[in-house]
Amino acid sequence: MDRQDSRLWVEMGENLLGEAIQLRRTIHEEPEQGLFNPKTSAKAKAALSGLPLEYREGPSTSGFIAVLKGPANGRTVLLRGDTDALPLTEETGLPFSSRHPGSMHACGHDTHVAMLVGAAKALCAHRDRLAGTVYFMFQPGEEGHHGAREMLKDGIINPLPDAAFALHVTPNVPSGILAGRAGPLLAAADKIKLKITGKGGHASQPHNAVDPIPVACEIVMAMQALVTRRIEAFDPVIMTIARITAGTTNNIIPEVAELEGTIRSFSKVSRANAHEGLKRLVSHIAAAHLCEAELEIEPGFPVTICDERAARLGRKVASELFGEAGWMTMPAPIMGAEDFSYVLNEVPGAMYFLGATPEGGDFRSCCALHSNRVLLDEQAMARGIAMHCAMAERFLSDGWAE
């Protein structure tokens, strides 16, 4: 695929942009959370109606795989778009804001669905160019529900494809720019649940009680020392306690303090060191203050690792589509987490970020994903559609060839 050939996909993305925006907005108005997003899946299927696609579905989610077979039965490539929303009440003021308080597409998954549908339409229209098969993966449950893992378990992605790619919009990259890197892109993220049990009493007589609150505070501070003194600086970990619950009023020492948070890491070594270190300090600090501690570390998504060949291919294709300025190599990974990591654990591939800074916004300071005020540049979806199509065609034709 040379620069002239790639122009087809740029034009297709631009031509399909209006339909993509309309679909994105209808999905945005009715966000769904978790592993079952039936309304969103129905909207995607309705938009795909009439195309030469075969469908696969499983019992564990509302997700589905739409399969497009080219005239040649060669390689297989997977393109993924996630479908679920977040537990937020939207405050963007958009005319198509969420109609469901407490649920919002604040991570751009509505745009991911719209771009993947657009890519399916474009690739179906030019099916004769495909030297193999494309899997379009519409996946719910990305926001902490392990939807990709469940779809893999259901067997609907078998046989596994030869490569897998995904796009993720972000307002913190200039609009229309593709960004990526080889190696770790996003972190593993594990959940911390900690219960400290002491002995309740009157606030005027703390010596007759065993106060769990200062113990909880000491553990939080000790976690920071653990990260900076027991974890390799060039294999970093972030530990965050984001929620502390204790007590009922101002003059009663509670019996219990509960803490919740996350551990984020980029390797099995640092992840294991963080887990063991946290267990050690929680146990000993609680014992030193006559408290009991119950610690649960719930394993989350694994590290998202991009194949070096896929990172190079992404840069090459983005540059062919949009010029050298259309690609940005990320200098470092991000401590966010992604369950596309489950797919990339099984199949070589990559995730790329697609800049979607709203018009007039500053990508360095505008509201980030997961904010209930986040805004995205819908025009960037044209480039997302083109990138999906070009990556699929290129890999099916040439594999990992440089």
* Cα–Cα distance for residue pair 167/354, rounded to 1 Å: 6
Question: Which pLDDT score, from 0 to 100, does residue 2 have?
Answer: 53
CA torsion angle 364 366 369 375 (round to 10): -140
DSSP-based helix, strand, coil % in the chain, nearest 5:
40, 25, 35
- DSSP state letter for 159: S
Helix (H) or strand (E) holding 282: helix 268-288
**What residue segments make up the domains of the chain, in order of their start?**
3-185+303-398, 188-298
Q: In this structure, are residues 231 and 274 in contact, taking their beta carbons and an 8 Å threshold?
A: yes
Sign of CA dihedral 15, 17, 18, 20: positive
Output the CA–CA distances (angstroms, integers) from residue 365 to 106, 144, 171, 369, in the order listed.
16, 26, 9, 12
Tokens of 370: 């997961």
As averages over each run of 10 residues, the pLDDT of the chain (402 residues) reads 74 98 98 98 98 98 98 93 98 98 98 98 97 98 97 97 98 98 98 98 98 98 97 96 98 98 96 98 98 97 97 98 97 97 98 96 94 98 98 97 78
- List CB contacts of 360: < 8 A, sequence separation 6 or more: none
Supply the Cα-derived Rg of the chain in whole angstroms: 23
Question: Which pLDDT score, from 0 to 100, does residue 152 have?
Answer: 98
Q: In this structure, are residues 337 and 264 in contact, taking their beta carbons and an 8 Å threshold?
A: yes
Output the CA–CA distances (angstroms, integers) from residue 388 to 127, 249, 266, in the order listed.
14, 55, 27
- Phi, psi dihedral angles at 184 (to 5 degrees): -60, 130
Tokens of 34: 């978790």
Q: In this structure, are residues 137 and 151 in contact, taking their beta carbons and an 8 Å threshold?
A: yes
- List CB contacts of 150: < 8 A, sequence separation 6 or more: 35, 58, 60, 61, 63, 141
| 113 Ramachandran zone, left/alpha/beta (phi>0; psi -120 to 50) | alpha
Tokens of 184: 């770790």
CATH architecture of 188-298: 2-Layer Sandwich (3.30)
**Burial environment of residue 29 by CB neighbours within 10 A (0 to 12, 13 to 18, 19 or more):** middle
Predicted TM-score of the model (pTM): 0.94
Q: How many CA atoms lie within 13 A of 152 on its CB side?
A: 17
Q: Would you tell me which CATH number, out of the four given (3.40.50.2020, 3.10.310.30, 3.40.630.10, 3.40.50.12780), belongs to the domain 3-185+303-398?
A: 3.40.630.10
For residue 222, how many other CB atoms are within 10 A of its CB? 17
The amino acid present at 102, given as its one-letter code, is: G
* Cα–Cα distance for residue pair 169/111, rounded to 1 Å: 8
Tokens of 83: 């479908």
Q: In this structure, are residues 79 and 352 in contact, taking their beta carbons and an 8 Å threshold?
A: no
For residue 117, how many other CB atoms are within 10 A of its CB? 28
Question: Which pLDDT score, from 0 to 100, does residue 6 have?
Answer: 80
